[in-house]
């Protein structure tokens, strides 16, 4: 079985590739580094030749404004068309909890569009809805900080370690398609503003968090449960403290 991981040099994709290779599978990474551009479609046919499974771990290089929606809409059309030409039998995608609730956000609207087109494509599929990665907390800080402070929503969040999601994605890639959405989350539920403040305190970053219920999150105002998974969720073991203690952010020089 040949497996192609799109975004296979990124945070999650690279981890998936390493795990599949360690298990002896025929896997290759497809990204701009290997001459594959999913926005234009360049290199896709060559990359997918002979593939039975495509794992989509790609992400928009821009997170705000209209760019994410444009990226996701173009990418999914090119991927699905190339999969049909190559005879791919299983499309595995990592997406985000909340895609169906945050239409005001171009990012989440783009992810929701991808999921809708996958379902309508006729290709067997498995979609993983993951909560926000711990590794993404720093990006939230960078996108929100203004003059040493951040305005963040008090909505609840239940973040997960990207490595736990990569483990699941690698397993799902070699299993029959579920034709369904699987949700994954970490063990700890906390308010976004409080978690980011704790993160900043732990890494001794010189910023303060201001709680603001109207603060936008990638362009959308959050309800308390916008980012929470449903009841039938796979809860991963690694909590925030354990992740932080082994992360690259511990002891960073701010």
Instruction: Select from 96, 20, 11, 23 the least CA-distant residue to 54.
Output: 20
Q: pLDDT grade, residue 129 (50/70/90)? A: very high
Q: Is position 86 within any domain? A: yes
How high is the mean pLDDT of the chain?
93
Confidence (pLDDT) at 254 = 41
Confidence (pLDDT) at 249 = 58
**CA max distance for the chain:** 52
Mean pLDDT of 103-119: 96
Confidence (pLDDT) at 253 = 45
What's the whole-model pTM score? 0.92
DSSP string spanning 16-66?
HHHHHHHTT-EEEEESGGGT-BTTTTBTHHHHHTT-SEEEE----S--STT
Give the total number of structural domains in the chain. Answer: 1
Q: What percent of the chain has pLDDT over 90?
A: 80
**Domain housing 108:** 2-245
Confidence (pLDDT) at 238 = 93
CATH value at residue 117: 3.40.50.720
Q: Is position 231 within any domain? A: yes
Condensed to tens digits (0 to 9), the pLDDT of residues 172-220 reads 999 999 999 999 999 999 999 999 999 888 888 888 899 999 999 988 9
**3-state SS, residue 191:** strand
Confidence (pLDDT) at 244 = 87
Q: Is position 250 within any domain? A: no
Q: Is position 228 within any domain? A: yes
Condensed to tens digits (0 to 9), the pLDDT of residues 31-86 reads 999 999 999 999 999 999 999 999 999 999 988 889 999 999 999 999 999 999 99
Confidence (pLDDT) at 162 = 94
Confidence (pLDDT) at 252 = 46
Q: Is position 9 within any domain? A: yes
Q: Is position 251 within any domain? A: no
Q: pLDDT grade, residue 92 (50/70/90)? A: very high
Which one has a higher pLDDT value, 254 or 209? 209
Q: In angstroms, rounded to a whole number, what is the distance separating the alpha carbons of residues 200 and 206?
A: 7
Q: pLDDT grade, residue 113 (50/70/90)? A: very high
């Amino acid at each position: 079985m040949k497996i192609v991981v799109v975004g296979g040099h990124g945070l999650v994709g690279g981890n998936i590739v390493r795990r599949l290779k360690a298990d002896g599978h025929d896997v290759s990474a497809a990204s701009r580094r290997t001459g594959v551009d999913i926005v234009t479609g360049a290199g896709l046919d060559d990359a997918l030749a002979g593939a039975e499974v495509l794992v989509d771990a790609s992400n928009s290089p821009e997170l705000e404004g209209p760019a994410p929606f444009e990226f996701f809409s173009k990418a999914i059309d090119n991927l699905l068309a190339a999969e049909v030409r190559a005879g791919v039998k299983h499309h595995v995608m990592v997406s985000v909890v909340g895609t169906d609730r945050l239409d005001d956000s171009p990012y989440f609207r783009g992810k929701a569009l991808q999921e809708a087109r996958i379902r309508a494509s006729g290709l067997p599929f498995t979609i993983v809805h993951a909560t926000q990665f711990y590794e993404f907390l720093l990006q939230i800080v960078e996108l929100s900080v203004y003059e040493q402070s951040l305005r963040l929503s008090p909505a609840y969040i239940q973040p997960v370690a990207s490595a736990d999601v990569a483990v699941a994605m690698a397993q799902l890639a070699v299993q029959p398609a579920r034709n369904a959405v699987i949700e994954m989350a970490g063990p700890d539920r906390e308010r976004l503003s409080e978690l980011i403040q704790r993160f900043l305190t732990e890494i001794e970053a010189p910023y303060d968090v201001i709680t603001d219920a109207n603060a936008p999150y990638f362009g959308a105002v959050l309800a308390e449960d916008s980012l929470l998974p449903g009841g039938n969720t796979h809860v991963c073991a690694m909590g925030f403290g354990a992740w932080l203690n082994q992360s690259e952010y511990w002891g960073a020089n701010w």
